[in-house]
Structure 1
Amino acid sequence: MGKVVGFELSSQEPEKAAKFYSEVFGWEISEANWDYWPVSTENSKERTGINGGISKGPNDYPHGTRIQIEVDSIDNSISKAKDNGAMVVREKMEFEEFFLAYLVDPTGVGFGLVQRK
Structure 2
Amino acid sequence: MGRIIHFEIPSADPEVSISFYKNVFNWEVSRWGDEEYWLVKTGEDDEPGINGAIMRQRDPEQPVVNTIEVANLEKAIEAIEKNKGQIVVPRMAVPTVGWLAYFKDPNGYISGVMQPDADAK
The TM-score bracket by the shorter chain reads: 0.7 to 0.9
Q: Distance in 1 between matches of 2:81 and 2:45?
A: 40
State the 1:64 CA deviation.
2.5
- Of 98-107 and 31-40, more deviation after overlay is shown by 31-40
Alpha carbons 1:56, 1:62 under 8 Å: kept = no
Give the partner amino acid of 1:19. S
Specify the alignment match of 1:56 in structure 2.
56
**Gaps spanning 5+ residues in structure 1: where?**
none
Q: Distance in 1 between matches of 2:87 and 2:48?
A: 31
Structure 1 residue ranges (4+ consecutive) displaced by more than 2 angstroms after TM superposition: 61-64
Specify the alignment match of 1:98 in structure 2.
98
Percent of aligned pairs with the same residue? 33
Matched, 1:37 2:30: no
Q: Distance in 2 between matches of 1:101 and 1:116?
A: 12
Q: Distance in 1 between matches of 2:92 and 2:61?
A: 19
CA RMSD of aligned residues (A): 1.8
Q: Distance in 1 between matches of 2:15 and 2:102?
A: 23
Q: 1:62 to 1:36 in 2, by over 3 A?
A: farther
State the 1:63 CA deviation.
3.7
State the 1:7 CA deviation.
0.7
Alpha carbons 1:9, 1:63 under 8 Å: kept = no
Q: Distance in 2 between matches of 1:63 and 1:24?
A: 23
How many residues of Structure 1 are paired with residues of Structure 2 in the alignment?
115
**Gaps spanning 5+ residues in structure 2: where?**
none
Matched, 1:86 2:85: yes
Alpha carbons 1:36, 1:55 under 8 Å: kept = yes
Deviation per residue, 1:24-80 (Å, 9 max, x gap)? 1000000243111100001486x5421000111223x74431111000111110111
Specify the alignment match of 2:65 in structure 1.
66
Q: Distance in 1 between matches of 2:24 and 2:44?
A: 14
